[in-house]
Chain A
Amino acid sequence: MKQSHSHIRPLFISISALLFLSLTGCWSSHEIEEQSLVIGLALDKGKQSSIEKKLNEQGEGYSKRNLITATYQFITPEVASSTTKQAGPQQKSYVNASETGDSNHQIVRELSLRSEQPLTGYHMKVVVISEDLAKSYKLEQLLNQNLRDSEVRLSCLVLISKGKASKTLETKTAGGIPAFRLVGIVENAYRSTRILPPMSYTKVESKIQSESSFLLQNVLSANGEVKFAGAAVIDGKTHTMTGFLNEEELEGITWITGKGKGGVVKSFDKETGQLFVYEIESMKSSIIPRVTGNNISFDVNIESDGRLSENWVLSGNAFESEFLKKAEKSFENEVKRLVGNVIEKMQKEYRVDVAGFGNHLRIENPKVWKKVKKDWDQTFSETPINYHVKLTIKDYGTLGS
């Protein structure tokens, strides 16, 4: 026993000494203070920025066709520390860097030639694609690198911008971070029916793979301000953008899908011409496909509960059920108008199904769906759709008149 002990001891000591080697640190360690965290990305059609032009004038570039301009928004260590130290009010709390090239990945790597801090994509929250880019390239091509990457998470959101996408990543508010602003607006869906449910990479990917048409939120920008305005229509066959739905049309889509969480409906009283407003508390819709022989049609039943939240009809007394009935009727007509309007637009102008009618047919009638799946958007545009709207005013707040 003693002997074996004396054998083991030197071994033990040498192993303990070896353990010190592991104290030198981790193989893959990167100091967080030395990283630039990418939080947003804007993709535009290739157009060199003035800095890039100046750099290029001096020659020594590389061969490229300048297809896209990518603008990366990131938070650098300096910026992060200066905002906590309460720097001057004009201090921006983000950095935007644009680079023009062909491949997304090459563009990122080119940025490493311009900055000493490597970019990391673990915290990317949002991608904005400009209209002209989305019209000329397939979405899966534009997003391919990001969908493949191990850093960029699939929870990243996708938006379309009617103007220049890079402008949506700018702000004049001191301390504001544009990428976070965009993500924050998406969260406001409980306030407005004009915001689509978030379309993350995951959802976009599954829509693309299933070859169905879908919508992406459209965002406008002016003077460092942004606004969510309607949606962009992505065609399921070509995977490119074909057009826009305006705010009202998007509202119609929200009513059809019943996925809205809140918002208002404005309507006018027939007799007095004054307005009243309905605030949505809950919304439900059922899309029922009806198949008889070769004919497909849809019944859409929309139901909603809410309250009368504003009333300019001074003669109207909300304590009287008569008046509420009248208001309900008026709101129902308004919702019907919104729904009818967007159905017309989908069927006549764009000839695509972006409200998920096809999905309901797939679920209810898989056999029929299999037959019409291939040319669904075409079939859909000739399908009769009946819709019924039932709104109920549950209360009218603290004011009766």
Chain B
Amino acid sequence: MILSPRDQITTPQATVIVINFILGTGLLTLPRSSAEKAHTPDVWISVILGGVIAIIAGVIIVKLGQQFPKKTFYQYINEIVGKWVGGLLNLAIICYFLMTSGFQLRSMAEVIRYFLLQGTPTWAITMTFMWVSLYLIIGGINPIARLFEIILPLTVILFLVVSFMSIKIFEINNLRPVLGEGVIPVLKGVKTTALAFTGPEIMLLLIPFMNQPKKAVKAVLVGVSISLIFYVITVVMVIGALSVDGVAMRTWPTLDLIRSFEVSGLIFERFESLLLVVWIMQIFSTFTITYYAASLGLAQLSKKSIQPFMFGLLPILYIIAMIWKNVNDLFKFGDFIGNFALFLFGLLPLLLLIISRIKGGKYETIT
């Protein structure tokens, strides 16, 4: 695949893509899913540990990719493990991106259907969402990156404003004692929180698009760290207001946090719509980038043009999103994707890195 200069992104753009990929459904559900597992107010420590694990995994992914700075994972995997295994792994990764995409789509549809547009049919919500996304990815990686650059500052500002409004109902006692029950419960939560950080894997594909592939490590470090700050703020504010026991029973705890207070004196009293705006933009970006990654994978695997795949995946994504009967099925699907990711992006890149190093320096291309 020949890359035109227009199809290149800068390091900050790569960082922004990583952040926007990471932040998604987790922003609304992480306080519950992690509190369920850990059962202590120390969940925020689990979040930090999860972030550290994500950074390590991300760095490994980047190191692997930097051995082939002109190629995406779909292209270089064959050189490491051969055609057959490589093809299988490629398919697995494409499946992963498709599933993530479908999962985000459905979560978005569920929340909008219940909280915002109760009379609107789900297909109408998802269709518009998908079409806009399709329009964006047809333009290639550069327009995607530029849109993400617009979304991120909006997210940061609105999200911080909204979450700090909840300071009125924040009770520090809900977060104490720190490590009262030892480190074991904290570690129990780490798996869940680490999975909330799935996103650095986009670096498998992003490195050849970067104009400075050497700085990919920086993009991952900064990207995961900023997401980490987001998550810690979310978890601390939500548990501080709702307490661990209260969080465990709420479907969308972060939304409940915003629904728990009214601010009088400002123009608005309620801020859940602002939070939902932020969240929907984040879901959109996660959806878009995974959609693009899957299409790119299919295109590079078959060595054909990417556009037919983009259009072709549209109905498939819709089916993946709509196949789940209820929210419980959806959350289970989410857990499955998480476990899948743990294997694909936790273990596999390390393995591949070792293999490629052992195989010798013949790929060592220094740019």
Contact = CB atoms under 8 A, between A and B. Distances in A.
A50 interface: no
Interface of A: 27-28, 150, 153-155, 200-203, 205-206, 209-211, 359, 362-364, 366-367, 370
Contacts of B250: 205
Given A155-B261, A363-B173, A366-B180, A206 B243 contact: yes
A153 B255 CA distance: 10
B245 A209 contact: yes
Interface stretch (B45-53, B115-123, B141-149, B354-362): B115-123
B249 A154 contact: no
Contact of A150 (B114, B121, B124): B114
B129 to A, nearest CB: 15
A366 B270 CA distance: 37
A154 B256 contact: yes
Contact of A210 (B180, B181, B245): B245
A116 B341 CA distance: 53
B262 A206 contact: no
A201 B250 CA distance: 12
Contacts of B117: 27-28
Nearest to A369: B180
A367 B179 CA distance: 11
Contacts of A202: 169, 241-242, 246, 256, 260
B259 interface: yes
Given A153-B270, A200-B169, A363-B180, 20 more contacts: A27-B120, A27-B121, A28-B117, A28-B120, A150-B114, A150-B118, A155-B262, A200-B260, A201-B260, A202-B256, A205-B246, A206-B247, A209-B245, A210-B243, A210-B245, A211-B245, A359-B173, A362-B180, A364-B177, A366-B180
B248 interface: yes
Nearest to B125: A27
Contacts of B332: none
Nearest to A187: B264
Interface string B257-273: 00111100000001000
Contacts of B121: 27
A363 B172 CA distance: 11
B176 interface: yes
11 contacts: A27-B119, A28-B117, A150-B115, A150-B118, A153-B262, A153-B270, A205-B250, A206-B243, A206-B246, A210-B243, A211-B245
A166 B33 CA distance: 40
B180 A209 contact: no
A193 B215 CA distance: 60
Nearest to A140: B249
A341 B260 CA distance: 34
Interface in B269-287: 270
A155 to B, nearest CB: 5
Given A202-B260, A363-B176, A27 B124 contact: yes
Given A154-B260, A209-B249, A370 B181 contact: yes
Contacts of B173: 359, 363
Interface string B123-134: 010000000000
Contacts, number: 66
A37 to B, nearest CB: 14
B259 A153 contact: yes
Interface in B177-221: 177, 180-181
- Pick from B114, B241, B259 the residue with the most CB of A within 10 Å: B259
A397 to B, nearest CB: 30
Contacts of A367: 180
B295 to A, nearest CB: 25
Contacts of A370: 181
Contacts of A363: 173, 176-177, 180
A131 B298 CA distance: 65
Contacts of B243: 206, 209-210
Interface string B147-175: 00000000000000000000001000110
B239 to A, nearest CB: 10
B181 to A, nearest CB: 6
Closest 9 CB pairs of A and B: A206-B246, A366-B180, A209-B245, A28-B119, A210-B245, A206-B243, A202-B260, A27-B120, A154-B260
Contacts of A150: 114-115, 118
Contacts of A210: 243, 245-246
A210 B247 CA distance: 11
- Pick from A362, A364, A366 the residue with the most CB of B within 10 Å: A366
A27 B169 CA distance: 35
Contacts of A154: 256, 259-260
A158 to B, nearest CB: 13
B177 A206 contact: no
A132 B206 CA distance: 65
Contacts of A366: 177, 180-181
B23 to A, nearest CB: 23
A363 B171 CA distance: 13
A4 to B, nearest CB: 18
Contacts of A153: 259-260, 262, 270
B32 to A, nearest CB: 12
Interface string B229-250: 0000000000001110111111
Contacts of B242: 202, 205-206
Nearest to A153: B259
A211 B249 CA distance: 13
B176 A209 contact: no
Contacts of A209: 243, 245-246, 248-249
B118 A28 contact: yes
A249 B115 CA distance: 42
Nearest to A202: B260
A377 B109 CA distance: 45
Contacts of B169: 200, 202-203
- Pick from A27, A205, A206, A364 the residue with the most CB of B within 10 Å: A206
Interface in B73-126: 114-115, 117-121, 124
Contacts of A201: 260
A196 to B, nearest CB: 15
Nearest to B124: A27
A210 B243 CA distance: 9
A27 to B, nearest CB: 4
Interface string B17-50: 0000000000000000000000000000000000
Contacts of A211: 245
Contacts of B181: 366, 370
